[in-house]
A and B are shown apart, each in its own frame.
Chain A
Amino acid sequence: MAERSPGPSGTSGHRPKHALSTGRHVRATGLFLVLMVVVAGFVYPFVVTEIAQVIDAPAANGSLLHYPNGTVAGSSLVAQNTDAPYLFWSRPSLSDYNLTLGAQTAPGPSDPNLTALLNETIAYMDQYGIGTVNATVPFWWAAPSASSIDPDLVPQAVLVQVPRVAAANNLSIGVVTALVNKHIVNPPFPDIGVPYVNVLSLDLDLIAMTGR
C-alpha cells in the first residue's frame, strides 16, 4: 500500500481537507457522467455482445427457429398464434401474441372478468372435443400467462390435444404421442422447475413430418 494515500476509510488521521468548491464539484460530476455514459452505455454492452456472439450465437440472437428453407419462423422464446386444427396450441395470449404490445394484465383472482375469460377459452376448446377427450381442460392451459407470450405448455395440456392433431393430419395417435414425448423438456435436476413442452418447436417438427 502506498504510504501517502490515506484512503476513503480508517479510524484516524482524517484531517478534514478543504471542501471542493461548487465549481470543482460541477466539473467532477460532468466528467464522471461522460465517463459513465461511455462505459455503461457503450463499452459494457458492446463487449458483452461481442463475447456473446462468439460463445453462444444462437441464444444471443434470440433463439430463432427456422423453416427448412432458412426463413425465420419465430423464436423458441416467444409463443405464436398456432390456432389451426392441425397444430398444437399455446396458452391463450391477452396481446394476441404481439410482442410489441407488451404484457397485458391478467384479471385478479376474484374479478368476474377472470371467470368470463376462462369460460370463453374453455368453450372454444370444447368445440374441438377437448372436453370429450379428457373431461376437463387443464388449468395451466386455459389460464392467461404473465408475459402474454409464454411459449411453453405443461405436457398434460399438450397430450389432450393429440387426438385433434392426429385426426387433422391423418396420423395415428401413437405417432403424434411419440412426437410429443420427444419434446417434453425435463428439469436438469429433479424438481427445479416443471417439465414442459415448447409448442412452437413441436409444431415445426410436426409440419416437417407431415410436409404441410
Chain B
Amino acid sequence: MFAVGSLWDIVFLVALVIAVAPFFGAYLGRVYMDRPAFGDAILAPIEHAVYRLLGTSPRQSMRAREYLLAVILVNGGVFAFLYGFFFFQGLLPYNATHAPGMSWDLAFHSASSFTTNTDFTHFTNESQLSLGSLMIAWPLALFVSAATGLSVLVAMVRGFVRRDGTLGNYYVDLVRTMTRVLLPLAFLFAILLVLFGVPETFRNLVVAHPITGGTQHLVFGPVASYTSISLLGTNGGGFYSANAASPLANPSAASNLFETFVMMLIPFSTPFAFGQIIRRRNESWPYMGTILIVFAIAVGLFIAYQAATNPALLGIANLGAQSNGYPVGQETRFGLPEASLFQVVSVYSNVGANNMQISALSPMAQLVLLFGMFTQSTPGGEGTGFATLLLFAVLGIFVGGLMVGRTPEYLGKKITTGQVRWAALALLVHPALILVPFVVAVAGGFVSTAGSIPVSAHTFTAVLYEFTSEAANNGSALSTAQFVDSSTFFNVTGGIVMLIGRFLPIWAMLQVGGKFSEQEVLPPGPGTLRTATVTFTIYMTLFLIIVSVLLFLPVIALGPLAQILGGA
C-alpha cells in the first residue's frame, strides 16, 4: 500500500478543476450567447468573414431538423475525407515510414472512429499510419468532432430558453467553438506539452545507434500539437499506439497531471456553461454534484483495487514484494494515484486515452471503467456527455413527477411524451448497441481465440469492453493477445456501432431541444418540482446509477463478475 500523503496532488488537481470550472464554464456559456464576450475585438471580424464565406449568418437560426442536416453533412464530409485519405495514404505525401493504404474495412472503422469522437484504433500507429494521416486527416476529426459535441449540447440547451422552435446556427456554433475554445486552448496546451518534454517536429524518422549495436528506429512528429487537441477535445487518440503511456506523449509525472487537467477542463465545466446559457447558475450544481459523486467513488475504488496485491503471483520464487502499486502494464514514472486518476478521468470523460494497459488491470478496476462508459455522462464526452445527463434528467423528472404527483416540467418547460420518447430512445439505444453485436460476436463464433482456447471470462470481458467503448464513443481498448479485433467482422460492426452510437443520440438531443423550443415558458406553480436542491441531486445520482446497473447487470455477471468470483 502507498502512504496516504501521496494522494495530495490528485486531490489538489480535482479541487483545482472544481474551482476553475464555474468560471471557465461561464466563459464557455457566453461563447454561445449573443452577448459581448471576451476577445470580440479581434475575433468577431474574423468570424463574420468566415460566416460570409460560408454564406450564412447568426441571424439564420435553425430548427432541429435543419441543424441535424448540417451536422450530418459536415460530419459526413469529415468521414469521406478520412476514409479516402486512409485508403490512399500509401500514395499520399508525408509518408516516410512507408505505411501502406488501409483495407476498405479498416479505413471504414478508422474513419467512423475518428469522426464520432471515439478514436478507437484497430491498427498500430507507428507502422500502419503515415505522418500525413496523423497530421492532416486525423486532426480534422479531432477538432470537428469535439466542436460538434459542444454545438449539439448548446443547441439542445437553447431549447429551454427559446420559444420560437429554433436552436441556433450549427456553422456559427462550430466557428465560434474553434475560434474561442478549441484553437486557442489547443495551441496553448501544445506549447506547454513541449515544455514538459513532448516532441514537436516534422522529422518523422530518426535512426539511433544503441550501445550494444544494431539500429533503433525512432518515430517522431508533431506529437505535442496532436496530443493537445486529442485530450482537450475528449477524442483520446494517440500519436503512438501506446497512447499516453508512451514516454514520448507523456514524459513525466508532471506531464501526466497536466494532461489529466486538460482532459477534465471542458467536461467538468459544461454544467456551468449550461447554467450560464439558461441564466440560472444554481441549476448547474445538481449536475456537478451527480458527476462528482459518481466520479469520486470510481476513483476511490480504482485506486484501492490497483493498490491490492495480485494473489496469483504470490507463489513466484525470488519476486520482490508487491509494493507501490501493481506494475504489470504500468509505467514507472507516474506513480499509482496519479496514473489511476488519469485513467479514470480519461474513461469517465469518454476521452479513451490510456496511460496503462487496461487488459492488465484487476477485473474490479476494469468494471469501474466499464461503468463510466455505461453512464456516458459522469461527466462524459465533449458536450454530448452533459447532453446525455440532461436526457437522464428529462426522464428522471418525468418518472419522479409521476411518483410524487407533480407536474413533469423542467425550467418552466413542460415535459411531454415527445421529449420522453426521444430521451428514452437515446438512452436505450446504448445498451442495444452493446449487447446485440456482443451476442452476435460471441455466439456467431467471430471471436477468434488464439489456438483452441475457448472464450474465457477474460476474453468475454474484452469483447464486452470493445463494444461498450465503441457504443459510448469512448475509444479505450481492452486488447488481449487472446482476442484479435482487427478482423473484417469487428471493423464493420464496430464502425456501425460507433456511427449509430454517435448520431442517433445527437438526433434525439436536437429533437428534445427542438420540442422544448416550441413551447411557451410556464410560471413556476405550487406543483413545480424544484431542481436546484440537494434532494434533486441525490435523486439524480440514484436514478442514474440504478438505471445503468439495471440495464447492464446481466452482461456484467458473465464477464467481469465471473472473473472476480471464479478467478478465471
- Chain A residues with a Cβ under 8 A of chain B: 1, 5-12, 14-20, 22, 24-33, 35-37, 39-42, 44-45, 47-49, 51-53, 55-56, 59-64, 67, 71-75, 77-78, 80-84, 87, 91, 97-103, 105-111, 113-115, 118-119, 122, 126, 131, 134-154, 187-194, 196, 203-204, 207
Beta-carbon contact of A14 and B166 below 8 Å: yes
Q: Is the CB of A193 within 8 A of B208?
A: no
CA distance A141 to B109 in the complex (A): 37
- From B480, which residue of chain A is reached at the shortest CB distance? A105
Alpha-carbon distance A115/B209, docked complex (angstroms): 33
Please tell me which one of the listed residues B35, B36, B175, B333 contacts residue A196 in the complex, with CB atoms under 8 A apart: B333
Say which residue of B32, B73, B162, B190 sits within 8 Å of A48 (CB atoms). B190
A-chain residues with CB within 8 Å of residue B140 when the two chains form the complex:
33, 36-37, 40-41
Whether the Cβ atoms of B333 and A193 lie closer than 8 Å is: yes
Q: Is the CB of B222 within 8 A of A48?
A: yes
Interface centre among B70, B174, B241, B338 (most CB of A within 10 A): B241
Instruction: Check B212–A82 contact: CB distance below 8 A.
Output: yes
Residues of chain B lying within 8 A (CB to CB) of residue A135? 318
Contact with A along B45-65 (1 / 0, CB 8 A): 000001001111111111100
Known: A126-B318, A147-B240. 6 other contacts (CB 8 A): A8-B34, A29-B77, A33-B140, A100-B126, A145-B331, A149-B247
| Interchain CA distance A106-B328 in the complex, whole Å | 7
Q: B198-212: which residues lie under 8 A (CB-CB) from chain A?
A: 198-203, 206-212
Contact B34 A5 (CB under 8 A): yes
Which residues 171-230 of B have a CB within 8 angstroms of A?
171-176, 178, 183, 186-187, 190-191, 194-203, 206-212, 216-220, 222, 224-226, 229
Q: How many residues of B contact A (CB 8 A)?
A: 147
Q: Chain A residues near B479 (CB, 8 Å)? A: 105
Asked if B139 is at the interface of the complex by the 8 Å CB criterion, the answer is: yes
Q: Is B312 an interface residue (CB 8 A)?
A: yes
- CB pair A91–B211 under 8 Å, yes or no, is no
B141-171 contact mask (Cβ, 8 Å, vs A): 1 or 0: 0111000000000100010011111101101
B247 touches A122 (CB 8 A): no
Chain A contacts of B84 at CB under 8 A?
none
Tell whether, in the assembled complex, residue B357 and residue A8 are in contact, meaning their CB atoms are under 8 Å apart. no
| Segment of B248-256, B422-430, B500-508 in the binding face | B248-256
Among B57, B195, B196, B330, residue most surrounded by chain A Cβ atoms (within 10 Å): B330
Residue of A nearest to B255 (CB): A193
Point out which of A11, A22, A51, A147 has the most chain B C-beta atoms below 10 A from its C-beta.
A147
How many whole Å from A56's CB to the nearest CB in chain B?
5
Decide: A44 near B242, CB < 8 A? Known: A32-B74, A109-B361, A136-B321. no
- In the bound assembly, the distance between CA atoms of A19 and B62 in angstroms comes to 7
Chain A nearest CB, measured from B238 CB (Å): 9
Among B2-10, B375-383, B532-540, the stretch that binds chain A is B2-10
Determine if B78 is an interface residue (Cβ-Cβ < 8 Å): yes
Q: List 28 A-B contacts (CB under 8 A).
A: A5-B57, A6-B59, A8-B32, A8-B34, A9-B154, A9-B277, A19-B63, A19-B66, A20-B56, A29-B70, A30-B77, A36-B143, A37-B81, A40-B229, A49-B225, A60-B194, A74-B210, A78-B216, A80-B208, A83-B212, A84-B212, A103-B240, A143-B327, A143-B328, A146-B330, A152-B247, A191-B9, A192-B335
Is there contact, CB below 8 Å, between B247 and A77?
yes
Which residue of chain B has its CB nearest to the CB of A146? B245
Could you tell me if A105 and B359 are in contact, using CB atoms closer than 8 angstroms? Answer: yes
Q: Is B558 an interface residue (CB 8 A)?
A: no
With A150-B247, A192-B254 given, is the CB distance from A6 to B58 under 8 Å? yes
Cβ–Cβ contact A137 & B218, under 8 A: no
CB distance from B478 to the nearest CB of A (A): 9
Q: Is B568 an interface residue (CB 8 A)?
A: yes
Q: Are A194 and B335 in contact (CB under 8 A)?
A: yes
B357 touching A122, Cβ below 8 Å: no
Nearest-CB residue, chain B, relative to A140:
B327
Contact indicator A100/B217 (Cβ below 8 Å): yes
Q: Contact between B209 and A144 (Cβ–Cβ < 8 Å)?
A: no
- Decide: A41 and B55 in contact? CB cutoff 8 A: no
Min distance, Cβ B214 to any Cβ of chain A, angstroms: 8
A147 and B331 form a contact (CB under 8 A) = yes
A194 → chain B closest CB, angstroms: 5
The CA of A14 and the CA of B124, in the complex, are separated in Å by 50
Q: Which residues of A contact B251 (CB under 8 A)?
A: 63, 77
- B77 near A33 with CB under 8 A, answer yes
Residue in B58, B69, B323 whose CB lies within 8 Å of A25: B69
CB of A193 within 8 A of CB of B338, answer yes
> Assuming the A-B contacts A99-B126, A146-B355, are A192 and B328 also in contact, with contact meaning beta carbons closer than 8 angstroms in the complex?
no
Let me know if B360 and A108 touch, CB within 8 A.
yes
Contact (A8, B194) CB under 8 Å given A78-B247, A80-B211, A103-B242 = no
- Least CB separation from A156: chain B residue: B320
- Shortest CB-to-CB span from B517 to chain A, Å, is 9
Within 285-333 of B, Cβ neighbours of A (below 8 Å) are at 310, 312-313, 315-324, 326-333
Known: A19-B63, A59-B199, A140-B324. A82 touches B331 (CB 8 A): no
Which residues of chain B come closer than 8 Å to A134, judged between CB atoms? Answer: 320
Cβ-closest chain B residue relative to A1: B36
